[in-house]
C-alpha cells in the first residue's frame, strides 16, 4: 500500500485545492450537465403521504426551516448554545469497551475529523481560534485575536462570514482513516465531514440560529490560520453560524 502522499485519495485532495493564483485561471470543466431530478417516466408511481405523526415531533420543523443563512443578527450567541452545537456534532454519546462513540456516525468509529472554531461573538468567550477537545468536552484556546476577517478572506472573501457569531472549521487527519482503508478512507473522511456539518446546521436551527455550509476556501490559508500542515491534516469543510433576526410583526 502506498504512503499517504502517494495515494490517489491524497493526490485528489491536493489537485482540488483552491489558491488565489490558480483560481483566476479556473474554467468550468468540460463535463456536460445533467438534469437535477432523475425521472422514471414509465415506472408505476406511488404517491407518498405527508401526514406522518411523530410523537412530540420536534424534528420536522428543524428540517423544514433549515435554509442556508447568510445574514445574522449582531446579538451574541450564548456559550451553552455553542456547546450544544459542538456536542450535537462530535459529542461523546456512548461507549462499548474501549470504543467511544459520538453523536455523528464515522466509518470504523475512527473519527478522522477535527473541529476548530473561529469565535467572533459568543457571550463569556473571548474572540479567537479554538480547537474542540472532544475527550474532555472543552475548548483549547489557540489564539485570543478575533480572526473572523481572516477566516472570511480565506473563504474566497465571502463577506457574510464576518458577521457570524462563530465559524466552524473542520479538518481531516488523513492517517486516522487511511491507515486502515487506504484510498477509500478519503471517501469516508469526506462523508464524515458531511454528517458533522448537517448536525451543526440542525442544532443551530434548534437554538434559534442559522448557518451556511462553506466549501469554498483557499485551503492553505485556512491551514495556516489553524497551524496545521496540510499534509497530515488539512481543512475539509466550514460553516458559519449566527443568530437569526427576530421577526417583527
Ligand atoms: C458542500 C457545500 C459547500 C457549500 N459552500 C458554500 C459556500 O462556500 N458559500 C455559500 O454561500 N454557500 C455554500 N453552500 C450552501 C449552498 O449554496 C446551499 O446549501 C444551497 O444553495 C441550497 O440552499 P439551502 O442550504 O438553503 O437549502 C455550500 C453547501 C454545500 C453542501
pLDDT-derived band of residue 57, with 50, 70 and 90 as boundaries? confident
Residues 6+ apart with CB under 8 A from 140: 130, 131, 132, 133
Q: Which ranges of 16-105 does DSSP label H, i.e. alpha helix?
A: 59-65, 79-90
Average pLDDT over residues 151-160: 98
Residues within 6 Å of ligand 1 by CB:
67-68, 70, 158, 212-216
Question: Whose C-alpha lies nearest to ligand 1, atom 6?
Answer: 214
Q: Which domains does the chain have, with CATH numbers?
A: 4-25+71-243 (3.40.109.10)
Alpha-carbon torsion (171, 176, 182, 188), positive or negative: negative
* Grid cell for residue 205: 436551527
Residue 112's closest CA among 171, 63, 25? 171
Average per-residue pLDDT in the chain?
A: 95
* Grid cell for residue 172: 481531516
Q: Which tens digits make up the pLDDT trace of 88-100? A: 999 999 999 989 9
Question: Whose C-alpha lies nearest to ligand 1, atom 27?
Answer: 67
Q: What is the rounded CA–CA span in Å between residue 197 and residue 194?
A: 5
pLDDT at position 247 over 80: no
Rg (CA), the chain: 20
What's the Cα-to-Cα distance from 52 to each of 48, 57, 136, rounded to whole Å?
10, 10, 39
* Grid cell for residue 211: 448557518
What is the reported pLDDT for 76?
95
205 against 58, higher pLDDT: 205
Reduce the DSSP state of residue 175 to 3 states and report it. helix
What backbone phi and psi angles, to 5 degrees, belong to 218?
A: -80, 105
For the CA of 201, the nearest atom of ligand 1: 25
Q: Which ranges of 174-244 does DSSP label H, i.e. alpha helix?
A: 174-181, 183-206, 219-226
* 150 C-alpha to ligand 1 centroid (Å): 20
Average pLDDT over residues 103-108: 97
Q: What is the rounded CA–CA span in Å between residue 234 and residue 174?
A: 8
pLDDT-derived band of residue 34, with 50, 70 and 90 as boundaries? confident
Pocket mutation for ligand 1, best pick of 213, 221, 237 (most atoms within 8 Å of C-beta): 213
Reduce the DSSP state of residue 132 to 3 states and report it. strand
Q: Which tens digits make up the pLDDT trace of 192-215? A: 999 999 999 999 999 999 999 999
Residues 6+ apart with CB under 8 A from 151: 118, 161, 167, 169, 222, 225, 238
Q: Which tens digits make up the pLDDT trace of 161-201? A: 999 999 999 999 999 999 999 999 999 999 999 999 999 99
Pocket mutation for ligand 1, best pick of 67, 215, 235, 244 (most atoms within 8 Å of C-beta): 215
Q: How many CB atoms lie within 10 A of CB 166?
A: 28
Amino acid at each position: 500500500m502506498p504512503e499517504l502522499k502517494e495515494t490517489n485519495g491524497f493526490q485528489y485532495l491536493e489537485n482540488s485545492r483552491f489558491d488565489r493564483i490558480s483560481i483566476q485561471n479556473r474554467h468550468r470543466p468540460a463535463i456536460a450537465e445533467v438534469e437535477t431530478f432523475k425521472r422514471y417516466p414509465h415506472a408505476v408511481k406511488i404517491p407518498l403521504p405527508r401526514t406522518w405523526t411523530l410523537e412530540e415531533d420536534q424534528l420536522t420543523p428543524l428540517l423544514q426551516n433549515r435554509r442556508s443563512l447568510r445574514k445574522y443578527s449582531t446579538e451574541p450567541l450564548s456559550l451553552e448554545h455553542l456547546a450544544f452545537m459542538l456536542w450535537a456534532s462530535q459529542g461523546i454519546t456512548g461507549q462499548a469497551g474501549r470504543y467511544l462513540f459520538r453523536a455523528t456516525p464515522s466509518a470504523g468509529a475512527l473519527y478522522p475529523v477535527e473541529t476548530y472554531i473561529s469565535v467572533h461573538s459568543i457571550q463569556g468567550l473571548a474572540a479567537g481560534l479554538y480547537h474542540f477537545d472532544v475527550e474532555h468536552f472543552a475548548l483549547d484556546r489557540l489564539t485570543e485575536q478575533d480572526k473572523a476577517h481572516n477566516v472570511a478572506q480565506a473563504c474566497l472573501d465571502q463577506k457574510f462570514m464576518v458577521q457570524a457569531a462563530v465559524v466552524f472549521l473542520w479538518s481531516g487527519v488523513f492517517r486516522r482513516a487511511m491507515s486502515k482503508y487506504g484510498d477509500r478512507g478519503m471517501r469516508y473522511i469526506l462523508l464524515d465531514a458531511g454528517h458533522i456539518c448537517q448536525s451543526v446546521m440542525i442544532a443551530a436551527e434548534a437554538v434559534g440560529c442559522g448557518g451556511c455550509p462553506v466549501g469554498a476556501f483557499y485551503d492553505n490559508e485556512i491551514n495556516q490560520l489553524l497551524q496545521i500542515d496540510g499534509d497530515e491534516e488539512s481543512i475539509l469543510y466550514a460553516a458559519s453560524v449566527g443568530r437569526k433576526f427576530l421577526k417583527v410583526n
